[in-house]
């Protein structure tokens, strides 16, 4: 049978009935009609919280080495970048505690900080119970530096002192759990710190069993407070149960704490220490302390390096962790998110010195992630400018890193080659970081719009990584060139998650769209 060639000027009425094109015969007309099968909106944190109290417990006993660790000579000495032997012991202890508080305050300035220096068991108890009472249902952080006491025991004990400092006194993790309650986060900077994590989990289960027995054996219905969820507490430990902290004299003694609280500083100094980086022979450890700028100012070298570090560690976590774990550790609490981003750096640096940091919940290994190579390149390009800038700061300007521009290009390449939603762009968290920059914002919004246009799965993915507060804040911008992009992006977001309407009404964001109309 010969197929007819239907030209535009041919009358359909002149065709035999069986050759007349069928109307309403497209796929969308023949498909079975089903209700919307939208994904559950898990990107919103139902139990967002903050760390409101911090206990800094330092057992340093300056000038006296613990009996079970033989230190090398020379040995790592710096605590919070202070040499304790350069001051009288009590002055050194006070200075280190004050410096540690300042380091934490960069990440959580509004928390309530309390020191317990070379304490007794009773002093630790009073401190922890007081902070828990004031924190109520919010999170409390317990930071333990045990560099001046013996290693933790296999029975689940850490060490403090008696009142006259003539004996080391054991403090049971079982008791510490009760005093701290939940939710809590613990940081252990001492040798064999993994023992504490193991003991903590054992005691958490013991508390649960004892609570069940109490209820079951009670003759009357139990109407007391519920058992704190000890098993959900977060722990960060400097090394595994059998490892000793590094003693390299080029490193600080509190290397783990340095990674958690001053990540860019220790990352740059560790970069300089690496023998493979001899392409920059003029860069010394002393020059690192002279890098111009502030961590909070992204227009300076130090600020941009901190911004790049945040983007990279966030990206590594988002690509490696299950989405629920990422939401809990990196989006629920600002201080916890900062500590876990910095923990990724601690794993990278401390593994180099045969120490494996431990966390609970445990994280997959990330020290070999390819994004670390992007960090090394960014550091290399920035530090190459440092000698000239320091020699003539008035006439030599800092050239911004190409890192974010290159990552946007990588995202653009991904968009041009994507074929299905099983492929996930690893640069997505970086794209959201770039929305903070006026230089790259227009391009980032354009690429983000193209990504959201791929379908509801892309919108949910962007929401899970944290797009919402960024695009909500951008509604305050008066830039006309952003209007069509923001309208398109918000249309995609609202089409997938209509609950976002409430923020538009509450914050007055809907007025932005009225202005466009």
Query: Do 190 and 115 share a structural domain?
Result: yes
- 257-296 per-position pLDDT tens digit: 999 999 999 999 999 988 655 667 778 888 999 999 888 8
The two tokens of residue 419 are 């074929």
Q: For residue 299, is it within any domain?
A: yes
Q: 275 and 298 in contact (C-beta within 8 Å)?
A: no
Residue from 68, 84, 54, 107 nearest 254 by CA = 84
Q: Which of 254, 274, 307 is the last residue of a domain?
A: 254
Residue 473 pLDDT > 50, yes or no? yes
Q: For residue 339, is it within any domain?
A: yes
Q: Say which CATH number the domain at 443 has.
A: 1.25.10.10
Query: Do 276 and 199 share a structural domain?
Result: no
Q: What percent of the chain has pLDDT over 70?
A: 90
Q: Decide which of 9 and 226 is more confident.
A: 226
- 32-76 per-position pLDDT tens digit: 655 445 454 567 766 678 999 999 999 999 999 998 888 888 999
Query: Do 101 and 192 share a structural domain?
Result: yes
The two tokens of residue 510 are 């809907």
Output the pLDDT for position 18: 63
Q: What's the gap between Cα 93 and its chain centre?
A: 29
- 211-268 per-position pLDDT tens digit: 888 888 777 777 777 888 888 999 999 999 999 999 999 999 999 999 999 999 999 9
Residue 2 pLDDT > 70, yes or no? no
Query: Do 416 and 378 share a structural domain?
Result: no
Q: Measured between alpha carbons, how far is 311 from 313 in angstroms, rounded to an integer?
A: 6
Q: Measured between alpha carbons, how far is 184 from 284 in angstroms, rounded to an integer?
A: 39
Residue 190 pLDDT > 70, yes or no? yes
Q: For residue 57, is it within any domain?
A: yes
Q: For residue 189, is it within any domain?
A: yes
Q: Is the dihedral of CA 110, 115, 120, 123 positive or negative?
A: negative
Residue 134 pLDDT > 90, yes or no? yes
Torsion of CA 92, 98, 102, 108, to 10 degrees: 140
- 413-422 per-position pLDDT tens digit: 999 987 666 6
Q: Decide which of 404 and 394 is more confident.
A: 404
Query: Do 180 and 56 share a structural domain?
Result: yes
Give strand pairing partners of 186: 142, 235
Q: What are the distances in angstroms from CA 229 to CA 178, 203, 208, 232?
A: 11, 12, 9, 6
Give kind and range of the element (H or E) at residue 187: strand 184-189
234-237/358-360 β-pairing? antiparallel
The one-character DSSP state at 3 is P
Residue 353 pLDDT > 70, yes or no? yes
Output the pLDDT for position 365: 95
Query: Do 418 and 372 share a structural domain?
Result: no
In a 10 Å sphere around its CB, with 0-12 CB exposed, 13-18 middle and 19+ buried, how is residue 504 labelled? middle
Give kind and range of the element (H or E) at residue 330: helix 323-330
32: left (phi over 0), alpha (psi -120 to 50) or beta: beta
Residue 497 domain boundaries: 402-515
Query: Do 375 and 429 share a structural domain?
Result: no
Domain count, the chain: 3
Q: Say which CATH number the domain at 56 has.
A: 3.40.50
Query: Do 275 and 246 share a structural domain?
Result: no
Output the pLDDT for position 420: 65
Residue 1 pLDDT > 50, yes or no? no
Output the pLDDT for position 153: 96
Query: Do 185 and 58 share a structural domain?
Result: yes
Output the pLDDT for position 419: 64
Query: Do 453 and 477 share a structural domain?
Result: yes
pTM for the structure as a whole:
0.88
Query: Do 208 and 88 share a structural domain?
Result: yes
Crossing angle between the packed helical segments 173-180 and 194-217, to the nearest 10 degrees = 70
């Amino acid at each position: 049978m010969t197929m007819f060639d239907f030209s535009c000027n041919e009358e359909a009425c002149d065709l035999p009935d069986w050759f007349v094109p069928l109307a309403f015969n497209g796929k969308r007309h023949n498909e079975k009609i089903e209700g919307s099968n939208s994904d559950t909106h898990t990107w919103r944190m139902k139990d967002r919280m903050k760390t409101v109290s911090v206990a800094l417990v330092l057992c340093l006993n300056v000038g006296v080495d613990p009996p079970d660790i033989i230190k090398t000579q020379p040995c790592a000495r710096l605590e919070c970048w202070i040499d304790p032997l350069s001051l009288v012991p009590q002055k050194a202890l006070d200075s280190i505690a004050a410096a540690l508080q300042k380091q934490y305050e960069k990440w959580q300035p509004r928390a309530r900080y309390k020191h317990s220096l070379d304490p007794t068991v009773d002093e630790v108890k009073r401190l922890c119970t007081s902070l828990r009472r004031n924190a109520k249902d919010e999170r409390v952080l317990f930071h333990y530096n045990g560099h001046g006491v013996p290693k933790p025991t296999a029975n689940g004990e850490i060490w403090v002192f008696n009142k006259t400092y003539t004996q080391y006194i054991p403090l049971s993790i079982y008791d510490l759990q009760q005093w701290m309650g939940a939710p809590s986060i613990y940081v252990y900077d001492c040798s064999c710190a993994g023992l504490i994590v193991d003991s903590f989990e054992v005691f958490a289960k013991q508390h649960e069993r004892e609570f069940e027995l109490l209820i079951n054996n009670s003759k009357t219905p139990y109407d007391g407070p519920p058992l704190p969820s000890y098993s959900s507490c977060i722990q960060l430990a400097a090394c595994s149960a059998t490892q000793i902290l590094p003693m390299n004299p080029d490193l600080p003694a509190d290397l783990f704490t340095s990674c958690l609280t001053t990540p860019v500083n220790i990352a740059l100094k560790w970069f300089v220490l690496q023998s493979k980086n001899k392409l920059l022979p003029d860069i010394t450890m002393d020059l690192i302390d002279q890098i111009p700028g502030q961590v909070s100012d992204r227009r300076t070298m130090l600020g941009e390096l901190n911004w790049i570090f945040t983007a990279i560690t966030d990206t590594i976590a988002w690509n490696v962790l299950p989405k629920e774990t990422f939401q809990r550790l990196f989006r629920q609490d600002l201080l916890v998110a900062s500590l876990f981003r910095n923990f990724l750096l601690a794993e990278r640096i401390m593994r180099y010195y045969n120490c494996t940091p431990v966390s609970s919940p445990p994280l997959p290994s990330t020290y070999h992630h390819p994004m670390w190579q992007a960090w090394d390149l960014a550091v290399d390009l920035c530090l190459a400018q440092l000698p000239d800038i320091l020699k003539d700061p008035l006439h030599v300007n800092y050239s911004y890193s190409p890192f974010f521009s290159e990552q946007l290009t990588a995202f653009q390449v991904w968009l041009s080659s994507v074929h299905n939603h099983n492929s996930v762009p690893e640069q997505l968290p970086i794209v959201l970081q770039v929305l903070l920059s006026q230089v790259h914002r227009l391009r980032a919004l354009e690429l983000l719009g193209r990504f959201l246009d791929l379908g509801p799965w892309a919108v949910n993915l962007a929401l899970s990584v944290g797009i919402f507060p960024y695009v909500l804040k951008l509604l305050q911008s008066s830039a006309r060139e952003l209007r069509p992009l923001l309208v398109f992006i918000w249309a995609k977001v609202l089409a997938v998650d209509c609950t976002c309407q409430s923020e538009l009404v509450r914050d007055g964001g809907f007025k932005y769209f009225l202005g466009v109309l």
